[in-house]
Structure 1
Amino acid sequence: MQEHPIRWFITAPQACPYLDDREMQSLLVDPAVSLGGARFGQLLAEGFRRSGQFVYRHHCPECAACVPVRIPVAAFRPNRSQRRCLDRNRDLAVTIRRPPEQPGTSPAADLDGHMPLFSRYQTARHTGGGMEQMGREEYAGMLAHRNGPVDLIEFRQADTLVAVAVTDRTPQGLSAMYSFFDPDQPRRGLGTLAILTQVAHAHRLGLPHVYLGYWIDQAPKMEYKTRFQPLEGRMDGVWRRLPA
């Protein structure tokens, strides 16, 4: 099947949400285009990222602070802290589901069941971030991905949902698109657990990488990504190992 050409858009400059003294622009794929899993995976390998319906790469003329990062699955070994995180959460049941509108053999997720946890997480962690008022339809729209399968990794304590990791699946690897979790259980390290579980999922599928989006050295909130070693960053068009 012949691939349709991609139309590109560049956003107008806006205040950078990561660095106070800078502006940000993004290069966007036309959201009307269905890329397909392989093509989307190729864009991941070129430093692109998905947020809801948008596939984008930061395109700032005078700044290169945003570094796309990924975990090479075959080389990754959890460190001592991450092994403790796995041990603390052995009581959780992990299930991989799909969005209801997506065909597939895995069971469909109950998005209505996701919403109370999603709302609690947004209120506790991202007040004023624009997502705390999202309803079920907006959440379903965030999951709708015409560029390949989406895996929803659910974590439950008995019958209670405590975390969800939204994961894009491509032939080139998994992309950790978004995760949310119970903000009242900080000791569990559920954000760390979500990434460790996605790495294990990629290993089972025989996929080479887990993409974690962007990392900025000067942004303390992104420091957690460097705890997953080895970690590769794409700089000057080349993926290379980042220092621990």
Structure 2
Amino acid sequence: MTNHTVNSPQFFLTAPSPCPYLEGESERKVFTHLVGDKAPALNDLLTQGGFRRSQNIAYRPACETCRACISVRILASEFNSTRSMRKNMATNADLVATEYHAEPSNEQFKLFRRYLDSRHKRGGMADMSISDYAMMVEDSHVDTRIIEYRVKVEGDGLQEFPAGPLVGAALTDRMSDGLSMVYSFYDPNATARSLGTYMILDHIERAKALGLPHVYLGYWVEGSRKMEYKTRFLPQEHLMAQGWRRYQG
């Protein structure tokens, strides 16, 4: 495999394909490889420029007729939780979050499959096997962690491997200026917990504790119902033609 440096990455363009977010639109992506010892610095630079990481690939939309995908990052140090968010944290006070190096497990995959089968039956990840999942987690040349969320059980204490049932997991990159939530999934039956919201709130607290200013959420698409939740976490910035700009709502 060819190594690329931060100063001279090679970029490629995908062929058009149907857009998964907006009916009638087609998408194209520009991408490059994140490999070698320069990958962390390149990932930082590209994420700040609106790219996302998937395994050892950094990509961003390059659609010919649409600019609906907008990169979003939460200003963690300024974040103000709403009443409903504080209620969410209280509801999930019985969870314990444990951070590990990016290593897959059968338990994670079972939860991942349940999540996909419930929420994304027709998505591009619908047919992922356990080996595909392992690649998604392990194939990273940057500082990637997996955070497991489990229900506390009596006797867990502060042990390294909590014994409670796994209800959520987040694959997360730690960068120089923030945390990037690469992918998260959770128990689709635990609707009362609103685990998607909880994991974002947990990442905001983690970024604060690390002294990192941002939590990167990926793309927001105005008009896409499945993306509406991202604009609830304020204050936040959107990457526009003029650079990162504070979102006014």
Q: Normalising by the residue count of structure 1, what TM-score does the alignment of the two structures yield?
A: 0.90
User: 1:229 and 2:229 equivalent?
Assistant: no
2:201 aligned to which of 190, 196, 202: 196
Report whether the alignment pairs 1:173 with 2:213. no
Which one of the candidate residues 221, 224, 235 is aligned to 1:216? 221
Partner of 2:160: none
Does residue 128 of structure 1 match 2:122?
yes
CA deviation after TM superposition for structure 1 residue 77, in Å = 1.5
The share of aligned pairs that are identical, in percent, is 40
C-alpha displacement of 1:134 = 2.3
Which residue of the partner structure matches residue 106 of structure 1? none
1:43 paired residue number: 46
User: Which has the larger displacement, 168-177 or 144-153?
Assistant: 144-153
Q: Distance in 1 between matches of 2:81 and 2:215?
A: 14
Contact 1:71 1:232 in 2 (8 A): yes
Does residue 243 of structure 1 match 2:248? yes
* Alpha-carbon distance in 2 for matches of 1:133, 1:15: 18
- 1:32, distance to aligned residue in structure 2 (A): 5.4
Distance 1:4 1:242, change over 3 A: closer
Question: Structure 1 residue 181: deviation in Å?
Answer: 0.4
1:221 aligned counterpart, secondary structure? helix
| 1:25 matched residue in structure 2 | 28
Q: Aligned to 2:64, what secondary structure does the other structure show?
A: coil
RMSD after superposition: 1.7
Deviation at 1:21, TM superposition (A): 2.2
1:31-89 deviation line (CA, Å, top 9, x unaligned)? 65664222211111100111233210101232211110100111112111111000000
Distance, in Å, in 1 between the alignment partners of 2:173 and 2:38 is: 13
1:109-120 residue pairs with structure 2 within 5 A? 111-120=105-114
Partner SS, residue 86 of structure 2:
helix
**Aligned 8 A contact 1:70 1:231 in 2:** yes
Which secondary structure state, in structure 2, belongs to the residue aligned with residue 71 of structure 1? strand
How many Å apart are 1:22 and its aligned residue?
Answer: 1.7
Report the residue type matching 1:168 in the other structure: D
Describe the superposition over 1:214-238 as per-residue Cα deviations: whole angstroms up to 9, x where unpaired: 0011111100001101111001041
1:225 corresponds to which letter in structure 2?
A: K
Once the two structures are TM-superposed, the CA of residue 3 in structure 1 deviates from its matched residue by: 4.6
Give matches, 1:59-208, under 5 Å: 59-100=62-103, 111-157=105-151, 158=153, 159-208=164-213
The Cα shift of 1:30 comes to 3.1
The secondary structure found in structure 1 opposite 2:171 is: strand
CA contact (8 A) 2:148 2:166 kept: yes
CA distance in 1, matches of 2:19, 2:37: 28
Whether the 8 Å CA contact 2:6–2:41 is kept in 1: the answer is no
Q: How much has 1:16 moved relative to structure 2?
A: 1.4
Q: CA deviation at 1:145?
A: 4.3
Q: 1:31 to 1:151 in 2, by over 3 A?
A: closer
Q: Distance in 1 between matches of 2:128 and 2:6?
A: 34
Other-structure match for 1:104? none
- What one-letter code is carried by the residue in structure 1 that aligns with 2:65? E
Q: Is the 8 A contact 1:37 1:147 kept in 2?
A: yes
Counterparts of 1:31 and 1:14, CA distance in 2: 23
Unaligned runs of 5+ in 2: 154-163
